[in-house]
């Protein structure tokens, strides 16, 4: 019998904690498959549903990666992995529409703060990166590349903060928001005209940052994200 086997039946939380400790200490090496469900059932004297609940908990906490029908693999937690798991969990609890609204709101808080800080203290290098992102955004108007360059401009803005936790939060919010947006097709939109309007709003935010006008940069960024969100909430044919 495995020396780790225990005659006591374990709860899902205790199984999850034991496996997390194994991964933290290297007894289970990161990026290697976890033991099979059968082996875990034998080790912990637990049922398959209990083991699966433990594995789900570990995945949310960032200790396990799973997908494509493959056996779960051990992983070291990262801010991004934990946030992505939390985002998926929110969708299950709140539903797509409500989760999308909350994520949009959090994204707006982060970017408004970033715009204010950029206007107050952006370095020459950071301003240059924003300019490059803005120019790429302009060049992509009316093409499939506009969306990625749109995101890149906003990421360059948040990058001014230099805070890895905030950067990870923003990346998660943007990726989850885009995933939810994909559920609702864009009805009858003149893509080129909409891209051009979005770019002009980006340009205005950038100019306010160059001018060192924190209040205007923040206000413009707020208006930009609020307009974008209101547009997606509008129903086809609504006045």
Count CB-CB contacts under 10 A for residue 129: 19
Residue that is last in its domain, among 77, 100, 118 = 77
pLDDT the model gives residue 239: 35
Distance CA 74, CA 61 (A): 11
Same domain membership, residue 56 and residue 152: no
Same domain membership, residue 67 and residue 182: no
Distance CA 43, CA 34 (A): 13
Is 217 in contact with 118 (CB distance < 8 Å)? yes
pLDDT the model gives residue 9: 58
Q: What is the rounded average pLDDT of the residues 107-132?
A: 91
> Is residue 16 packed enough to be buried (19+ CB in 10 Å), middle (13-18) or exposed (0-12)?
buried
207 within domain boundaries: yes
N-terminal to C-terminal alpha carbon distance within the chain: 70
Distance CA 49, CA 152 (A): 42
Same domain membership, residue 182 and residue 65: no
Q: What is the rounded average pLDDT of the residues 168-186?
A: 63
User: The domain containing residue 70 runs over which residues?
Assistant: 12-77
Same domain membership, residue 160 and residue 69: no
Q: Which of 20-34, 85-99, 167-181 is most confident?
A: 20-34
Does the pTM of the predicted model rise above 0.95? no
pLDDT the model gives residue 47: 93
Q: What is the mean pLDDT of the chain?
A: 82
pLDDT the model gives residue 103: 75
Residue that is last in its domain, among 23, 47, 77 = 77
4 within domain boundaries: no
Same domain membership, residue 25 and residue 99: no
- Ordered DSSP codes for 135-171: HHHHHTTTSTTHHHHHHHHHHHHHHTT--HHHHHHHH
User: At 66, is the secondary structure helix, strand, or coil?
Assistant: strand
| H-state helical runs in the chain | 12-25, 37-44, 48-61, 79-94, 96-121, 124-139, 146-159, 164-181, 191-210, 214-233
Is 173 in contact with 107 (CB distance < 8 Å)? yes
Same domain membership, residue 72 and residue 85: no
pLDDT the model gives residue 235: 44
Q: Give, as one character, the DSSP assignment of residue 34.
A: P
Q: Give, as one character, the DSSP assignment of residue 69.
A: T
pLDDT the model gives residue 35: 94
Lookup: tokens for 219: 């206000």
Helix (H) / strand (E) containing 50? helix 48-61
Give the domain CATH number at 170. Answer: 1.20.120.530
User: 31-59, pLDDT tens digit by residue?
Assistant: 899 999 999 999 999 999 999 999 988 98
Give the domain CATH number at 45. Answer: 1.10.10.10
pLDDT the model gives residue 1: 39
Same domain membership, residue 117 and residue 49: no
Q: What is the rounded average pLDDT of the residues 164-184?
A: 68
Q: How many domains does the chain have?
A: 2
pLDDT band at 237 (very low <50, low <70, confident <90, very high): very low
Write the CA distances from 222 to 121, 191, 214, integer angstroms: 19, 22, 12
């Amino acid at each position: 019998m495995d020396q780790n086997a225990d005659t006591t039946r374990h709860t899902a939380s205790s199984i999850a904690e034991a496996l997390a400790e194994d991964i933290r200490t290297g007894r289970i090496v990161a990026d290697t498959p976890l033991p099979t469900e059968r082996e875990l059932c034998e080790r912990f004297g637990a049922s398959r549903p209990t083991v699966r609940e433990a594995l789900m908990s570990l995945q949310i906490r960032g200790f396990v990666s799973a997908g494509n029908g493959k056996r779960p693999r051990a992983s070291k937690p990262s801010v991004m992995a934990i946030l992505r798991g939390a985002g998926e969990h929110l969708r299950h609890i709140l539903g797509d529409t409500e989760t999308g609204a909350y994520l949009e709101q959090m994204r707006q808080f982060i970017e408004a703060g970033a715009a204010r800080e950029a206007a107050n203290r952006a370095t020459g290098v950071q301003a240059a990166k924003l300019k490059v992102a803005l120019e790429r955004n302009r060049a992509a108007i009316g093409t499939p590349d506009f969306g990625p360059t749109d995101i890149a401009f906003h990421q360059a803005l948040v990058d001014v903060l230099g805070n890895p936790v905030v950067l990870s939060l923003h990346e998660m919010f943007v990726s989850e928001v885009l995933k939810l947006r994909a559920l609702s097709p864009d009805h009858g939109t003149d893509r080129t005209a909409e891209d051009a309007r979005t770019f002009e709003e980006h340009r205005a935010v950038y100019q306010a940052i160059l001018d060192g006008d924190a209040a205007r940069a923040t206000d413009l960024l707020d208006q930009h994200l609020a307009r974008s969100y209101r547009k997606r909430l509008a129903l086809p044919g609504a006045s």
